[in-house]
Structure 1
Amino acid sequence: MENIIESENYKIQKPEKWASEINDDELIQYIKESDFSNKQIEEGRDFCYFLDKVFYTSDNENSEYACVAYTLNEPSNLESASVRDVVVEENETYIIHRISVLRDGVFIDKIADTKIKVLDSENQSEGGVLSSNKKINITIKDLRLYDILITEDSRIKVFTDRDFMRREFFKYVYVTPSTYWAYGNYKFRFINDRKDPIAYKKTFFRDEEGNVIQPEISYLKKGEKFVIEKEDYINSFDINREIAPYIDFATDSNWTDLSNYISPFYEEIFSKSSLKEFAPKLAEKLDAISDKDEQLQYAIDYVQNHVYYIFNADEMNGHKPQEPSITYENKQGDCKAKSVLLKVVLDYINIDSSVILVNYNSDHYIKHYLPSLLTFNHVIVKINYKNETYFIDATARDEFGLIENRGFIYFLHYLEVKPNQQLQIKKPYRFSYYGINEKVDLNAQNNTGELKLTTTYKGNRANFMRKYFKNTNKREIIDSWNNFLFYALNYSNDRNGTDIRTIFKNAAIEILNDDKKLNEFTIQYSASIQNPYFTDVQKNRFLMYFDRNVVKNNARDFMHADIPFWHNFDNEKYEINLHTDQKIDTEEKYTIQESTINNPYFDFTSRKKVTKNGASVFIEFKPLVNLEIPTEDFEKFRTDHHTIADSNYGLGIDIIEQGIMNMLKYNFKKRFK
């Protein structure tokens, strides 16, 4: 082995007593061909002869053990096995027990062919991510196709004083294995060596008919084990439409007790924090703002933009927030620190607020999980103002507007950091404004079209578009709009392959208005188009504009057995005006077609105004958002979105060509349609 000197981050030694003890002869006995293994290999898949996993937890450590033997018949698996990285946290040690191969029936120890490097796992420091994690790079020389690789290792995380939360509470989610692998022998053991009982809940397991089994909660006392053991095993859930079965292990508790545990840490901070003492200049600035709306806006803007966000992974393992005086003085802090500072500022200006715990990434699962503070990974602020509830992420940047105009945060579950709390559900929401309000004018004269789009973005959309225009090259922005219009005007079906820049002449885009208080961002696009009409194969001409953004294909195409559809669309309003110097068919079915949809989860209307030389459509889409669509309501929800997609997301007008034959063709079509 090239690294003779062991690092404090890794060791080479025998497994702990709580793990398995397997000698080489026993390993060879496990690695036996069978009808089951031969079938998998014949199908072109690698095969895992055995996998033995153990998770051990005590009041002083969390540790994992694994011993696995699998084929290297696929080049991609050979490549990933030859070089891999293991990331360990502060005070966590990676322990190698065995690296071997079985090659042509001969057992070969590969420890001597293994090179280990310890690197800093610090690749996001410029983004404010601080971590003392280490990356252990493991390279095994001379692995060959058709080897059987055997690895045995452990990870032992010993708790420090900073890990007081992990010492007090436990959480671990065991996820059943990948559907790719087939296992000759599979074993998982969970060992509780803590003083407190651990609850476990099996979730999304299925019966033989594929129906989800109702979860049941069981308990493990100190010294007890939970065991799963299977032979000739393939995990058979539908990866595209089902959640992988998992088991949630957590210290037996309830939300009330957990909120009572966490709230004193914050209450202590709030009770001894006086903004006037540690931030007199900020207090003075706030006092000088007489308008309450603007005073609140300034408070949020200050914490979001003047205090640098640092995600300290080690600090996030606990829940003791940094004192706001330190956050203010250093002008930096993690989500807890920034949220606490914001609440102290809000307390000073007499705005009712509280700190809450969330997890955006696992939000859907929180209702299935057992109660645990370790479920949450982020802290934000809840504000009650003028009989409305708002949620502000103090770590956000490039946010603007009075509080009712700021970006909306989508999530469902949260725990308020106050005594005697239960898990709360964020209510469904209807926007009071349009996230996008767009007017389209296309005027075709003498076979030249003058196109103008005027668009106002608000809320989340304004924040995003403002950032997009700031950080993106102007030519790239124009190309993006040109590409969108290429499809909206249906040119993709009669001039596909044409350089889009040659279609949209003199294309330009400019910012008309940027209102930071209303959080409105208005732009205007303009271009000239030679031959603005779409021409079909029969040489019929049409002036068309269909905005595919109105069609919510993710709602129409959604298919999942376990996850409800998450509804998070914006209010949208469109006015599309098409005008030509040609005569048009004023009674064409799709030109005059209108629609009204009143779904419990959204309202949609399209109204038309038709003249002899043009038409207009007025479209409004108003959803009820921040909720999961119940399964029993989803098919009606999907069908109504299909209705929108049935030519109700834009406008098309048919040109009546000059000449007697064209008029006869038009009258014939009109009579028999």
Structure 2
Amino acid sequence: MENTIEVENYKIKQPENWAPKINDDQLIAYIKESDFSNNQVDEGRDFCYFLDKIYYTSDTENSEYACVAYTLNEPSNLESASVKDIIVEENETYIIHRISVVREGVLVDKIPDTKIKVLDSENQSEGGILSSNKKVNITIKDLRLYDVLIIEDSRVKVFSDRDFLRKEFLKYVYVTPSSYWAYGNYKFTFINDRKDAIAYKKTFFRDEEGNVLEPEISHLKKGERFVIEKENYINFVDTNREIAPFIDFATDSNWKDLSNYISPLYEDIYSKASLVEFAPKLVEKLDAIADLDEKLQFAIDYVQNHVYYIFNADEMNGHKPQEPAVTYENKQGDCKAKSVLLKVVLDYIKVDSSVVLVNFNSDHYIKYYLPSLLTFNHVIVKINYKGKTYFVDATARDEFGLIENRGFIYFKHYLEVKPNQDLQIKEPYRFDYYGINEKADFDVVNNVGQLRLVSSYKGNRANYMRKYFKNTNKREIIDSWNNFLFYTLNYANDRNGTDIRTIFKDAVIEVISDDKKLNEVTIQYKSTIENAYFKDADNNRFLMFFDRNMVKNNARDFIHNDVPFWHNFDNEKYEINLTTDQKIDVQEKYTIQESTIKNPYFDFTSRKKVSKNGASMYIDYKPLVNLEIPQDEFEEFRNAHHEIADSNYGIGIDIIEQGLLNMLKYSFKKRLK
């Protein structure tokens, strides 16, 4: 076997004594055909003869063991089996116990045909992500179609001093296996060899009718095992509509005890921090700002934009933050370091704040998990100011505005780093401002339209739009607006396939104002459009403006049995004015249609003004956000969005063509309605 680098990131040795000892004769015996396996192969699927997984935890290490044997009947599986990468953390070792194939009934050792390389896993370092992770690349030569591949391996993570939290607490989530495979024999074992009891919670397991069972919580003392074993097993979870069953294993604890464990770590850091001593120049700048609103804005801007964010994966394994003096001096730090520095600055200007723990990626699941500090993977700052609560991510960049105008962070669960805290829920929220406030004017004379859009963006949308205009080519921006208008004006249905640039030939777009305190960006788009009317198959002419962004298709199309819909839309306001030198049908149903929708989750109104040569529409949409829609109320919520989609997201006007014949046709059409 060829080893490019001889390091301790991998080893070849026998399994530990807590793992099974499987000899060659036993392996051959395990790999036997059956009616069950033959049915899977006949369906063109690969088959897993057995999978034996073990998770072992002690006060000095966490280890995962697996022994698996599966067919290589599909070329794609053969390819993925031939080359694979294993990412190992600092002080983690990948251990190979066995690599073999069963070929024509004979067991063949493939370790001599295995090439192993150890590489740095630093492909994101330019983005401020630092890690001493290594990538163990494994290449197995001469694997063949219809081989049965056997791999027995382990991953062992030995705790260093930096892993003090992992030493003290265990967190592991077991998820039921891939629904692709059928398993002749499947076994999972969890072994607790820690001094403290491990709690485990079974969640989203189902009965034979598919109904979710109530969660079960049990405990494992030192030396005890939890085992799941199944024969002829297929996991029938519908992953598109169901949460896969999982078991959360965690050191038995509660949120108050956990907050009391972690808060002294931060208090110790705060007690050593004197902003006047380690950041006198920053203090001088803060003192020079008289207005507290502006002083608070400056403090947040400084930490977000002048201190470089470095995600140090190794440091994130624990929760002890870097001292703020070091963060300020080096002008860099991870989320903990930047959040702590921001809190120290806020303490100096006498603005109440605290550090909070969050996990945006698995926020929905936190309510199902057992209490554990290892649930969280990010740190932000909670600020109480003038009777309101705000959350600020100190790692964000290019955000602006007084605190009430800054970007809004959507999440639900957090743990405040203070003594005696429970898991908290971020409250539902109503914006005081419109994320988008847009006015569209489309005036057509002699079949030539002058189109003008003035769009004001605020909060998250302003931050995004600023970045978009900064980082995107101007021609690409104009093309994006043109493409949006191509559908909004319904040209996609009468001139599809036409080069959009020939329709909006002189389109221009520019930022006409950018207020950094209000965090409001206003953009103006102008274009002249020849042949401005949409024509249907009967050559009838219309002016239309239907902004599909108002239709929340993710709400209308949402289907999931277990996950409620997460409501996170902006306040929106629109004014649409269509005018023409032609006479219009002032009684047309959709031209005069208005709507009023009021439910617990959003208010929506559309109002119209119609004249003989045009019409205007005024739309106001105000949602209650940052909450999950209860499943028993979702259909009513969905139907309200269907009502918006029923021509209440824009306006169209019908042109009455000149001439007696056209007037007669128009009158006849009205009688048919």
**Structure 2 length as normaliser, TM-score?**
0.99
Say whether the 8 Å CA contact 2:4–2:117 is kept in structure 1. Answer: no
Corresponding residue for residue 613 of structure 1 = 613
What are the equivalent positions in structure 2 for 1:132-211 lying under 5 Å apart?
132-211=132-211
AA partner of residue 403 (structure 1): I
- CA separation in 2, counterparts of 1:108 and 1:568? 56
AA partner of residue 141 (structure 1): K
Corresponding residue for residue 581 of structure 1 = 581
Structure 1, residues 430-482: CA drift from partner, whole Å, max 9, x if none? 00000001110101110111111110000000000000000000000001111
Corresponding residue for residue 510 of structure 2 = 510
- CA separation in 2, counterparts of 1:408 and 1:122? 31
AA partner of residue 44 (structure 1): G
- CA separation in 1, counterparts of 2:174 and 2:656? 67
Structure 1, residues 294-315: CA drift from partner, whole Å, max 9, x if none? 0000000000000000000000
Say whether the 8 Å CA contact 2:45–2:74 is kept in structure 1. Answer: yes
Corresponding residue for residue 52 of structure 2 = 52
Q: CA deviation at 1:424?
A: 0.2
AA partner of residue 18 (structure 1): W
Q: Give SS of 2:244's match.
A: coil
Q: CA deviation at 1:415?
A: 0.2
Corresponding residue for residue 269 of structure 2 = 269
Q: Give SS of 1:643's match.
A: helix
> Which 10-residue stretch deviates more, 337-346 or 263-272?
263-272
- CA separation in 2, counterparts of 1:444 and 1:75? 60
Q: Give SS of 2:394's match.
A: coil
- CA separation in 1, counterparts of 2:672 and 2:155? 77
Corresponding residue for residue 440 of structure 2 = 440
- CA separation in 1, counterparts of 2:239 and 2:661? 59
What are the equivalent positions in structure 2 for 1:83-98 lying under 5 Å apart?
83-98=83-98
- CA separation in 2, counterparts of 1:36 and 1:653? 64
Q: CA deviation at 1:144?
A: 1.1
AA partner of residue 257 (structure 1): D
Corresponding residue for residue 639 of structure 2 = 639
Q: Give SS of 2:360's match.
A: coil
Corresponding residue for residue 555 of structure 1 = 555
AA partner of residue 415 (structure 1): L
Q: CA deviation at 1:599?
A: 1.2
Corresponding residue for residue 109 of structure 2 = 109
Q: CA deviation at 1:271?
A: 1.6
What are the equivalent positions in structure 2 for 1:19-418 lying under 5 Å apart?
19-418=19-418
- CA separation in 2, counterparts of 1:234 and 1:450? 62
- CA separation in 1, counterparts of 2:427 and 2:4? 59
> Which 10-residue stretch deviates more, 397-406 or 70-79?
70-79
Q: Give SS of 1:401's match.
A: coil
Say whether the 8 Å CA contact 2:5–2:117 is kept in structure 1. Answer: no
- CA separation in 2, counterparts of 1:145 and 1:398? 53
Q: CA deviation at 1:5?
A: 6.8
AA partner of residue 186 (structure 1): Y
Structure 1, residues 490-535: CA drift from partner, whole Å, max 9, x if none? 1111111111111112011011001111000111111111111111
Structure 1, residues 175-219: CA drift from partner, whole Å, max 9, x if none? 001110100000000000000000000000000000000001000
Report whether the alignment pairs 1:468 with 2:468: yes
Say whether the 8 Å CA contact 2:98–2:153 is kept in structure 1. Answer: yes
Q: CA deviation at 1:35?
A: 0.6
Q: How many residues align?
A: 673
- CA separation in 1, counterparts of 2:146 and 2:513? 65
Q: Give SS of 2:501's match.
A: helix
Question: What percentage of residue pairs aligned between the two structures are identical?
Answer: 82
Say whether the 8 Å CA contact 2:4–2:118 is kept in structure 1. Answer: no
Say whether the 8 Å CA contact 2:88–2:94 is kept in structure 1. Answer: yes
- CA separation in 2, counterparts of 1:376 and 1:630? 25
Corresponding residue for residue 519 of structure 1 = 519
- CA separation in 1, counterparts of 2:366 and 2:193? 26
Q: Give SS of 2:505's match.
A: strand
Structure 1, residues 132-151: CA drift from partner, whole Å, max 9, x if none? 00000000111111111100
AA partner of residue 402 (structure 2): L
Structure 1, residues 606-645: CA drift from partner, whole Å, max 9, x if none? 0000000000000111000000001111010000000000
Q: CA deviation at 1:239?
A: 1.1
- CA separation in 2, counterparts of 1:363 and 1:4? 42
- CA separation in 2, counterparts of 1:330 and 1:398? 20
Q: CA deviation at 1:6?
A: 4.1
Q: Give SS of 1:299's match.
A: helix
Structure 1, residues 222-280: CA drift from partner, whole Å, max 9, x if none? 00000000000000111110001000000000000000000000111112211111111
Say whether the 8 Å CA contact 2:4–2:116 is kept in structure 1. Answer: no
- CA separation in 1, counterparts of 2:578 and 2:31? 72
Q: Give SS of 1:545's match.
A: strand
- CA separation in 2, counterparts of 1:602 and 1:5? 60
Q: In structure 2, do the counterparts of structure 1 residues 603 and 5 end up closer, same or farther at CA, with 3 Å as the change threshold?
A: closer
AA partner of residue 553 (structure 2): N
Q: Give SS of 1:167's match.
A: helix
- CA separation in 2, counterparts of 1:584 and 1:202? 64
What are the equivalent positions in structure 2 for 1:479-494 lying under 5 Å apart?
479-494=479-494
Q: Give SS of 2:454's match.
A: strand
Q: Give SS of 1:618's match.
A: strand
Q: Give SS of 1:505's match.
A: coil
AA partner of residue 336 (structure 2): K
Q: CA deviation at 1:4?
A: 8.1
- CA separation in 2, counterparts of 1:73 and 1:478? 51
Q: CA deviation at 1:125?
A: 0.8
- CA separation in 1, counterparts of 2:259 and 2:386? 27
For the aligned residue pairs, the C-alpha RMSD in angstroms reads 0.7
Q: CA deviation at 1:73?
A: 1.0
- CA separation in 2, counterparts of 1:20 and 1:582? 85
- CA separation in 2, counterparts of 1:399 and 1:238? 40
- CA separation in 2, counterparts of 1:7 and 1:230? 38
- CA separation in 2, counterparts of 1:4 and 1:664? 87
AA partner of residue 378 (structure 1): H
AA partner of residue 369 (structure 2): Y
Corresponding residue for residue 564 of structure 1 = 564
Q: Give SS of 2:411's match.
A: coil
AA partner of residue 227 (structure 2): V
AA partner of residue 577 (structure 2): N
- CA separation in 2, counterparts of 1:6 and 1:155? 17
Q: CA deviation at 1:76?
A: 1.0
Q: CA deviation at 1:98?
A: 0.5
- CA separation in 1, counterparts of 2:541 and 2:73? 59
Q: Give SS of 2:544's match.
A: strand
AA partner of residue 636 (structure 1): E
- Where do 4+ consecutive residues of structure 1 move more than 4 Å? none
- CA separation in 2, counterparts of 1:215 and 1:590? 51
- CA separation in 2, counterparts of 1:458 and 1:341? 27
- CA separation in 2, counterparts of 1:222 and 1:516? 58
Q: CA deviation at 1:672?
A: 3.0
Say whether the 8 Å CA contact 2:179–2:235 is kept in structure 1. Answer: yes
- CA separation in 2, counterparts of 1:436 and 1:75? 51
- CA separation in 1, counterparts of 2:480 and 2:144? 48
Unpaired stretches in structure 1, ≥5 consecutive residues: none
AA partner of residue 651 (structure 2): L
